[in-house]
């Protein structure tokens, strides 16, 4: 089956358009792909018009489109394949402090709680992050779905991250006063970057183990009890 030059050009443009559409769907944050396709189309229209009004070379339109198409692919390769440099140093987002809240309803002997921790932006740049938390308090899971969430941290500012609530927690019973009544384990995994940067360039992760010796007497009271936080499986890159 013979395909005319015009037909080949049409097939090329159709495939190129599908490629660009797929790239935009995969990486919607890269608006330069869309602008590149628009620029490519504008150049193609201009070349086709020049050919239509009497260009000297019969294949001017095809040659111009192929030339700019190859240039566009080279620009994409340069953009995606070159290593990303960043002004954000390792350890720019640091753990500051953490706590575990335990609440108890006397009326129905119901206990619930959650874990929190503070992180600090140690740079002079606005940081954007995505985070994932998961863990448990006395075996009751928090953040079961492990869904990612995102946010911004202003320069030199501290922000508190919260786990979901653990419900119907049973205190640990022990004959030793040295054993904690509540043990919470929280794992956080955070990716972050400067707000103007293209990709996430840094990661921080850590497992926090909270030990609390709070007890309930059956009378209304507010307790501020000893809490220890242990760190493990730390990662910075």
d(CA 52, CA 29): 37
Check whether residue 63 and residue 130 sit in a common domain: no
Which of 48, 81, 114 marks a domain boundary? 81
pLDDT of residue 49: 59
Supply the range of the domain harboring residue 20: 5-81
Check whether residue 117 and residue 221 sit in a common domain: yes
Check whether residue 221 and residue 111 sit in a common domain: yes
Higher-pLDDT residue of 29 and 126 is 126
pTM of the model: 0.62
pLDDT in tens, 30-64: 666 666 766 666 666 666 656 555 555 555 555 56
Measuring CA to CA, how many Å separate 7 from each of 4, 11, 50, 66?
5, 6, 19, 14
The count of structural domains within the chain is 2
Residue 84 · residue 199 · CB < 8 Å: yes
Residue 187 · residue 133 · CB < 8 Å: yes
pLDDT of residue 24: 58
pLDDT of residue 82: 52
Which of 81, 102, 130 marks a domain boundary? 81
Check whether residue 36 and residue 144 sit in a common domain: no
Check whether residue 47 and residue 99 sit in a common domain: no
d(CA 123, CA 141): 34
Residue 88 · residue 125 · CB < 8 Å: yes
Residue 86 · residue 193 · CB < 8 Å: yes
Per-residue confidence at 8, pLDDT binned at 50, 70, 90?
low
For residue 86, being part of any structural domain is answered with no
For residue 88, being part of any structural domain is answered with no
DSSP code string of 89-116 = PTT-EEEEEEEEEEEEETTTTEEEEEEE
Residue 82 · residue 57 · CB < 8 Å: no
Range of weakest confidence among 26-40, 83-97, 118-132, 220-234: 26-40
Check whether residue 38 and residue 101 sit in a common domain: no
Consecutive H or E run containing 229: strand 227-236
For residue 196, being part of any structural domain is answered with yes
Check whether residue 71 and residue 97 sit in a common domain: no
pLDDT in tens, 98-114: 989 888 888 888 999 99
For residue 205, being part of any structural domain is answered with yes
Mean pLDDT of all residues belonging to the chain: 78
pLDDT of residue 216: 76
The average pLDDT across 212-221 equals 71
Check whether residue 121 and residue 225 sit in a common domain: yes
- Helices and strands, number each (H, E), in the chain: 3, 9
Instruction: Please provide residue 67's backbone torsions phi and psi, each rounded to the nearest 5 degrees.
Output: -60, -50
Check whether residue 63 and residue 11 sit in a common domain: yes
pLDDT of residue 196: 82
- Any idea what the CATH number is for the domain that residue 99 is in? 2.60.40
For residue 87, being part of any structural domain is answered with no
pLDDT in tens, 157-190: 999 999 999 999 999 988 888 899 999 999 999 9
Which of 81, 103, 129 marks a domain boundary? 81
The percentage of the chain sitting over the pLDDT mark of 70, rounded to a whole number, equals 59
Check whether residue 215 and residue 106 sit in a common domain: yes
Check whether residue 228 and residue 135 sit in a common domain: yes
Provide the β-strand partners of residue 188.
133, 206
Check whether residue 139 and residue 25 sit in a common domain: no
């Amino acid at each position: 089956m013979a395909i005319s030059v015009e037909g080949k050009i049409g097939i090329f443009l159709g495939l190129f358009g599908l490629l660009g559409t797929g790239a935009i769907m995969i990486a919607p944050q890269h608006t330069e792909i869309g602008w590149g396709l628009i620029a490519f189309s504008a150049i193609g229209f201009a070349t086709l018009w020049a050919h239509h009004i009497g260009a000297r070379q019969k294949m001017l339109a095809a040659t111009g489109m192929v030339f700019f198409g190859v240039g566009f692919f080279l620009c994409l390769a340069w953009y995606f394949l070159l290593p990303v440099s960043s002004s954000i140093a390792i350890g720019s987002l640091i753990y500051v402090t953490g706590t575990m809240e335990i609440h108890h309803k006397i009326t129905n002997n119901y206990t619930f709680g959650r874990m929190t921790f503070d992180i600090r932006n140690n740079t002079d740049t606005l940081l954007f992050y995505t985070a994932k938390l998961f863990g448990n308090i006395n075996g009751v899971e928090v953040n079961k779905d492990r869904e990612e969430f995102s946010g911004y941290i202003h320069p030199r500012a501290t922000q508190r991250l919260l786990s979901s609530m653990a419900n119907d927690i049973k205190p640990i019973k022990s004959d030793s006063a040295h054993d904690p009544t509540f043990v919470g384990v929280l794992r956080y995994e955070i990716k972050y970057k400067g707000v103007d940067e293209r990709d996430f360039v840094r990661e921080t992760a850590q497992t926090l183990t909270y030990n609390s010796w709070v007890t309930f007497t059956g009378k209304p009271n507010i307790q501020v009890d000893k809490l220890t936080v242990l760190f493990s499986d730390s990662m910075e890159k």
